C-alpha cells in the first residue's frame, strides 16, 4: 500500500513528489505498537529494500525477508520518476553510523537548530562518508528547513516574535509528550530561538537573509525548505524578488553529479 501511495502521488504531481522516510526514534511510539525499538533499523532497511524493488519491478515479483513475505504481487501505478521519487531522511533517523548503509537517501536537517549546528552536522556526515572510503556513500543532497518571516512594520515584527515564542513552546510540549524528555540539543535550540529574534525587517531583510543563506551554502547545504507560519504570499514574493537572484548557480549536489567519478 505504501509503495502504491507514493507512486500515485508521484503520478498525480507529474514527477514532483519527494518522499520523506525515517526509522523512528521515540520509545513511547514503539512501546505503543508493541515493537522493540532495537528492531527499528532492520525493519527500516527491509522496508526500503522492498520499496525500491516494488518501484523498479515492471511486472509481478516476490519478496521474502525477515519480517515480510509477498508472493507474485504487482505494484501499480509505476512512479513517474525513475527509479523512484527522491528519498529524504532526517538526522535522527540517519545516524552517523548509518551513512555507509543508506545510499541514495538525501538528508533533511531541521528548522530549529542554529546555523552553526546545521553546518556541524553536514560536516559530520561528509566525514562519515570519507571514513567509509567513498564520497558516493554521502547523502546525494542536503537540505535544511528555515523559517521565512519578513515584516515591514513594528506591529508585524511583534507578531512574528509571538509566533516564534509560540512555536518554540509547542516544540517543547511536543518533545515532552512524545519522548517524555527533551534531547539536550533540542532543548537548547528551542530555548535560544525566541531570544535570537531572527525576523527579517524591511530594509535589512535581504542583508540578514543573504548572510544566513550564504553561510548555509558555504557549509554544504544544497537546498533550503522555507517555512512561513503566516502563509504570506507577500513574504514569498519579497524573497523571490530580492533574495533568490543572489543564488543563480546550481546547488553543489547537482555539480557533483555532473562531475566524472574519481578513480580509486
- Domain assignments of the chain as residue spans, ordered by start: 1-85, 86-264
| Dist CA 190 CA 184 (whole Å) | 10
Q: Which of 171-175, 188-192, 194-198, 234-238 has the highest mean pLDDT?
A: 234-238
Cα radius of gyration rounded to whole Å, the chain: 21
Cell numbers linked to 185: 540539543
| pLDDT above 80 (res 67) | yes
SS3 82: coil
Cα 10 to its chain centre, rounded Å, is: 18
C-alpha span between 94 and 100 (Å, rounded): 10
Residue 240, pLDDT > 90, answer no
3-state secondary structure of 17: coil
**Widest pairwise Cα distance in the chain:** 64
What is the structure's pLDDT at 239? 86
Query: What would the pLDDT profile of 115-164 be if each residue is shown by its tens digit?
Result: 899 999 888 887 877 776 655 555 678 999 988 877 777 777 777 777 76
Report helix, strand or coil for 62.
Answer: strand
Q: How far apart are CA 18 and CA 123, in angstroms?
A: 24
Verdict on whether the full-model pTM lies above 0.85: no
Q: Could you give the residue ranges of the DSSP H alpha helices within 37-114?
A: 40-56
Mean pLDDT for all residues in the chain: 77
Burial of 150 (0-12, 13-18, 19+ CB in 10 A): buried
pLDDT at 84: 94
pLDDT of residue 111: 81
Model pLDDT, residue 161: 74
> Would you say residue 259 has pLDDT above 60?
no
Q: Cβ distance 147 to 229 under 8 Å?
A: yes
For position 195, what pLDDT does the model report? Answer: 41
pLDDT, tens digit, 9 for 90 and up, residues 177-205 = 655 554 444 443 434 343 444 444 344 55
Residue 64 above 90 pLDDT?
Answer: yes
Burial of 184 (0-12, 13-18, 19+ CB in 10 A): exposed
Amino acid at each position: 500500500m505504501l509503495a502504491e501511495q507514493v507512486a500515485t502521488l508521484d503520478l498525480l504531481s507529474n514527477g514532483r513528489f519527494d518522499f520523506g522516510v525515517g526509522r523512528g526514534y521515540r520509545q513511547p511510539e514503539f512501546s505503543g505498537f508493541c515493537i522493540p525499538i532495537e528492531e527499528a533499523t532492520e525493519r527500516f532497511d527491509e522496508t526500503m529494500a522492498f520499496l525500491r524493488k516494488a518501484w523498479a519491478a515492471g511486472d509481478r515479483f516476490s519478496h521474502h525477508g525477515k519480517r515480510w513475505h509477498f508472493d507474485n504481487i504487482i505494484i501499480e501505478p509505476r512512479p513517474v520518476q525513475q527509479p523512484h521519487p527522491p528519498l529524504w531522511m532526517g538526522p535522527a533517523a540517519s545516524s552517523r553510523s548509518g551513512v555507509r548503509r543508506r545510499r541514495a537517501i538525501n538528508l533533511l536537517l531541521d528548522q530549529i537548530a542554529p546555523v552553526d549546528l546545521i553546518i556541524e552536522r553536514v560536516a559530520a556526515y561528509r566525514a562519515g562518508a570519507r571514513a567509509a572510503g567513498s564520497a558516493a556513500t554521502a547523502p546525494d543532497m542536503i537540505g535544511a528547513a528555515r523559517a521565512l518571516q519578513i515584516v515591514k512594520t513594528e506591529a508585524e515584527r511583534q507578531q512574528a516574535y509571538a509566533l516564534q515564542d509560540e512555536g518554540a513552546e509547542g516544540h517543547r510540549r511536543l518533545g515532552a509528550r512524545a519522548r517524555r524528555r527533551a534531547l539536550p540539543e533540542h532543548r537548547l535550540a528551542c530555548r535560544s530561538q525566541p531570544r535570537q529574534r531572527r525576523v527579517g525587517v524591511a530594509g535589512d531583510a535581504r542583508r540578514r537573509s543573504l548572510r544566513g543563506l550564504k553561510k548555509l551554502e558555504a557549509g554544504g547545504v544544497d537546498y533550503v525548505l522555507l517555512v512561513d507560519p503566516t502563509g504570506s504570499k507577500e513574504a514569498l514574493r519579497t524573497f523571490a524578488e530580492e533574495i533568490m537572484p543572489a543564488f543563480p548557480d546550481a546547488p553543489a549536489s547537482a555539480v557533483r553529479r555532473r562531475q566524472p567519478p574519481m578513480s580509486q
